[in-house]
Structure 1
Amino acid sequence: MDKTIIGKSIPTISVIMPVYNAANYLNESIKSILDQTFADFEFLIFDDASTDNSKEIIRSFKDERIILYESSINTGYLTHLNRGIEIAHGAYIARMDADDISHPERFQMQINAFLEDETLGVCGTNYQTFGEREKEVVHPGEHREIFSSLLIGSYIAHPSVMFRKSLIQSNKIHYEPAYYTAEDYELWTRLAFLTRFKNIQRPLLKYRIQPNQISQSKVSLQKELANIISLNFFHHLCLILIGSKAADMKFGHVFFKFLIKYERSIRKANEKQKLVNADHLDKAISRYYKLNIISQLKYNPSTLFESIGSSFFNRLSNRERTKFIVKNLIFYRRERFIKIKSFLTERYIQMLVKLFQLKILNYYRIPIIINNFNRLAYLKILLDGLKSRGYHNIIILDNQSTYQPLLDFYSNNKQIKVIRLSKNLGHLALNQLPSLYNKIKYNFFVYTDPDLEIIKECPDNFIEVFFKSLNRKQNYNKIGFGLKIDDLPDHYENKQKVIQWERKFTLYPLSSLEFDANIDTTFSLHKPFSLVGVGYQYKCMRTNFPYLMRHLPWYENTNKKSAEQIYYDNTAGISSSWHSSKIKIYDPNL
């Protein structure tokens, strides 16, 4: 007797299709699925709060295989892909996009491929582009070529894919939101070590090219993530080939030295094991060298001498070699000065650390500087949270605020130290105030925006915890709170954009507590002599739960603003990093 789902037989395939404002293309897309020659499937369509007539078009189809799920808020397609996998009944899951067209024999040919090879886990197809440009795209067909090509990019067309549900379930795998815009590439690099891949060598999908689709409008983010994904895949390959990987899995000096040391061993091991195509490995290593040298590393003598004999150095033209050598030698004298200065700074910091450890200096007396402009309600929340936890050495740096209730608050609370500026210097004001900076730069200090709230689960001694983290990881200059994003209200209009943006700061865990992540003016502890805000110049850490804060503007109801919020919006210029509700995504910490 067949298995059933409330009176219906269990389908062989579950088709998952997210939809958002796709009314112009839905008829063709849905019809291409319903017209498949292999008809044993359920069609799970997830409408992501469309504002056009997409839902009406979907409902116009009376086929019982269609199951429509409607969302009242726009959560992004990854939410629905993961939900679809979770609730799918079929043994196989087929992807489909709302603006593409599937060939009538697509499902039949993919099912045949799975039946012919029990080890096959993921099956894609070639495809034909249409719309802005027309082209037949041919991807590698067999597993080894597909596996190898993952070093340099994604060669599995996401909307053409069908995969075994058991593969996903048994390994507890899902699409990772942190890799939004390249989530399929990241998924393939994980699955590639668990199963076999195949691309059917026929164009069984018509892939629509349009100006506003994700892969066109977010190319920059996609390239950045693709480099990270490729590097993670390479590190996994290195563990298989030579049993080792770089200590720091990011582009930078540590990885550069790893490449110099192990490149030949990696190539020789691959020649013997034939794990990946030699050309793909060569392209990947060349790209890694370029990203390390050009994007991340400063020139210095060690960069020069370590690279001699490497494939990177050997491939440089005579002109490029001369330029590379000259730059190294020019920077040599400056690097010597920097090293001497760095040595003296480290010794001074070590002395301060000892004083804190001996309890001669008090963690609770480390100065906390709050940079404020026309914020009162948020400022009070932050002040209350700090004082209730025992922190009273607080300085408010006010950027020529004009909000009268805030000015009255300053006047009525003389115990709070406020430095009133005659000019709005913005969120990096401390860097432009030598009179204040020269007083605090010899100590550890905290610098923060005012619109933050410490979560109740956070222990009171968080600055001591931050301090000890910096002492353990001495190559980092500052550490700050991570931001809580799992409780953002639905009424905040940029909820999903914030979540997708913030997840990138959890890609590089250093421990269960810390992430290697850039941080700007969110509450953070700085080492002596550090400037504020310029996170890209320093190595920074963000903390994990329970050391989290809420960024309070993310909890605003943009349709019901308070008088203070309205005043703030009207006085914070669009060019200013202070601005929040007029700009959807601003500065590195939003």
Structure 2
Amino acid sequence: MPEVSAGGNNMELSIITINLNNSAGLETTVDSVLQQSYKQLEYIVVDGGSTDGSVDILKKYNDKLTSWISEQDTGMYAAMNKGIRAASGKYLLFLNSGDYLCNEQVVEQLLSHSRGDADLIYGNLLRVFPNGMRDKVKMPETLTVETMIRGTLCHPVTLIRKDLFDTYGLYDESIRIVSDWAFFLKLIVNGKVTTQYLDTDVAVYSMDGISSKLSNAPLIEAERTRILRQYLPPAYAPLIEEVQKNHSGAPQYSVQALQERLEDRGGLSSKLLLPIFRTVVKGVKSLRSLRRSLETSLAYKAYKEAHQEACHAIPIIINNRNHLTYLKRLIHSLEKKGYHNIFIIDNASAYPPLLAYYKQTPYKVFYLQKNVGYCALWDTPIFEQFRDQYYIYTDSDLELAEECPEDFMVAMHYLLNRRRYSKIGKVGLSLLINDLPAHFNNRAEVIAWEEQFWRQRVEKLAFSAPVDTTFALYRPGSFGPASMVPALRMDYPYSARHLPWYENTGSLSPEQQYYYQHARASSHWSSKALPL
């Protein structure tokens, strides 16, 4: 098996680019490096076995690259580690395909203005979004543990002394998305590294990479939480909890916090206080719910009269891949209730009857060339068409319950516009579980899981509960799946049926078989798989 070969000795800087099937982005990155006025650097490219023409680009620049390789690997950090082993520079800069240096003098500016003895030398990051918009992220002048808990240090703008990897180890390849952040955190926690911030723009970062996609947000959050607990002592737990709470934006009631405050003041024991406070908090919640329900009873009729026509014009965006029958059932259930402002995002479907249906449907279809996943609306430029308005986003594998009132859109709109719910980003329909058929294999598991979302009532219309990409109304500018946007779930009869829960597990239709044979992953519990 070939290996990346090391470049010349005593280089001040090695730039490492990793790439996988991003030929256009790769050429942009390579050009920005080769155009640098500072020439005493080595440039290493590690390609993960691309099949899209990336190798042709590497061959094109073969005589200008220090070394390159193209072979399959186990992930981006395995590729980055491969580059580290091959590099001979005092400092390393990771500039992955699609990212590029801000100007032709940036490397020279960094090296000429640095002290030369700092372990980390870093500047600012420019970000470019899929719609062409840009912004600037100024890195913090000093790096602390709190800095890393609240944010990150971006590797495209950071020169890292190579010997740090000898001391602290290479990137942890078991971490899928945030291993570079984990490495920086490890350095800062150790406290022995020296840093230098230079107020200069270093690199342009493309916001369509793996760590930028909303569909990866739950994994990023889970990885960061695990690493913070692994690397930091218990003293940092309150700060970590605060950051996570602010990130979720979800309202929380804390019996423990109230208990601890009164214990500090009165010296009462936990055993005496805990049952009392649980009862008090439960009672407060019930009173609040009752008051809000009364307010809704008085205000909703007038709100409905004022907003019903506008709410019927709210766009409904359906994310679909290889579902025909379910898509038609969802659209039919919407049309029956008077909703026709429907848009379909097709995630690279290949099911022939579905493709034929698209040709005759009256609704706009956005065709994607690859399966972007359940966050396709937000992870593609399509979102720019809907960003500044209320919109519904939903998977295609459900239908409105027959008993769902026609004013469901008004009811969700009403909740989002109540001042007391100003931190709520979306309101979704509830999912029925009281009529799941016995032939559905995962019936008991689904019921046990879904029952938790019917417990925290906030008023007569809704419960406080997460909503994923099941039918939900979003505020203008709001986006993201369950872990990112605080949500309410409507109470029955404002409900939908998740159609895979009604499949006959022992006798799937040809269409259902086709879907599961071509599914990358299941985003909901289906008749074939439970989520991990």
- TM-score w.r.t. the length of structure 2 is 0.47
RCO higher in structure (CA 8 A, sep ≥6): 2
Q: Which has the higher Rg, Structure 1 or Structure 2?
A: 1
